[in-house]
Amino acid sequence: MAVAVIDIGSNSIRYMGKSEKRLEITRLASGMSQTGRLSEPAMRHTASVVRSFVELAREEGLPVFAYATSAVRDCSNREEFLALLHDACGITPDVLSGADEARYAFLGATGGDGGLIDVGGGSSQIITALCELSFPMGCVRAKDAAPQAYKSFEAKRAAVYAICEGVYKFPKLSPMRWTAVGGSAHTLAALKLGLTRYECRRVDGSSLTLTEIKSLSRELFDMGDEARKRLPLLADRHDVILYGAMLLSYMMRGLGVEAVTVSYADGLEGYAMHIERELKRQSAGASAQGDALRRDTAEKELERV
């Protein structure tokens, strides 16, 4: 059974239905590091975008399911946002734990093979068959934690890495094939390929080495925010992409990973697989209950005879 899925993330809202994935930047988690709350403008903007995606799912004739990740999971006004969303869209998203978020991304991107690094807006994950780790740090939170300008790339990187040291704990893992998902990895892969606009078919399956990510990070820093704004590829991420690049390089360095393969498939596909399995299980259960009811009715009829 085909379904539509909406991912309510910390930086963006994403939709997967019959057509290609769609994305709208809403910065739901912006400022949350200081206040612990989702802001009213960000909540209203997010609800509006979610409503448009719910309407799109109905136009496509698909049942729609939604999940929310780090920003909604960690904020102090979760119930307020969920009520706003229900009033605006008629849906209540599944608020995923960090482990579930990691599990669905791993399932969608790798099918359970190798390791996965997922850098989002409000959190990041490390997933293998043996571990599911989620950390409260993503490109939006990193920006909130280290917003000031620095005169050199090295100073900026040192500030971000110092914040990371208090958040990440890296497991000791055997060498394996690693996959990366998330907007930061996709944007960096597109930059490496020389794209001016994002093209999923070219980015999907491309590789990024740790050396390349460090080089791209320096280029992004040297470019400056105003120049990044003018590039169509970076316009929506101009102020967070450098942080995402630094987080990805920090995680790869900590894990001893020299290269990753970028995957277009991620938690959206993993969550859709989960929902479709649940719907089939429920359908099978209802069918079994119906069979049992029919058998019971037939037995009672025979008893009367």
**Mean pLDDT estimate for the chain:** 92
Each residue of 66-109: pLDDT tens digit? 999 999 999 999 999 999 999 999 999 999 999 999 999 999 99
Q: Is the pLDDT of residue 152 over 90?
A: yes
**Can you give the pLDDT at residue 135?**
96
- Residue 254's identity, in one-letter code, is G
As a whole number of angstroms, the distance between CA 92 and CA 8 comes to: 11
CATH superfamily placement of domain 4-96: ATPase, nucleotide binding domain (3.30.420.40)
**Can you give the pLDDT at residue 77?**
97
**Can you give the pLDDT at residue 286?**
62
Q: Which two tokens stand for residue 21?
A: 């994935």
Confidence at 253, pLDDT banded by 50, 70, 90? very high
CATH superfamily placement of domain 110-262: Exopolyphosphatase. Domain 2 (3.30.420.150)
Q: Is the pLDDT of residue 292 over 90?
A: no
Averaged pLDDT for residues 181-186: 96
**Can you give the pLDDT at residue 175?**
86
Confidence at 147, pLDDT banded by 50, 70, 90? confident
**Can you give the pLDDT at residue 298?**
46
What backbone torsions phi and psi does residue 174 show, to the nearest 5 degrees?
A: -70, 155
**Can you give the pLDDT at residue 38?**
96
**Can you give the pLDDT at residue 13?**
97
- Give, in degrees to the nearest 5, the angle at Cα 153 between 150 and 158: 80
Q: What is the pTM of this model?
A: 0.85
Residue span(s) of the chain under CATH 3.30.420.40 come to 4-96
**Can you give the pLDDT at residue 291?**
52
Q: Is the pLDDT of residue 299 over 50?
A: no
Q: Is the pLDDT of residue 237 over 80?
A: yes
Beta strands in 120-210 (DSSP E): 124-127, 132-135, 178-181, 207-209
**Can you give the pLDDT at residue 74?**
95
The residue with greater pLDDT, 130 or 286, is 130
Q: Is the pLDDT of residue 211 over 70?
A: yes
3-state SS class at 263: coil
Confidence at 284, pLDDT banded by 50, 70, 90? confident
List Cβ<8 Å contacts ≥24 apart for 175-178: 175/256, 176/114, 176/115, 176/128, 177/113, 177/114, 177/115, 177/261, 178/114, 178/115, 178/116, 178/117, 178/252, 178/255, 178/257, 178/259, 178/260, 178/261
**Can you give the pLDDT at residue 302?**
40
Residue span(s) of the chain under CATH 3.30.420.150 come to 110-262
3-state SS class at 73: helix
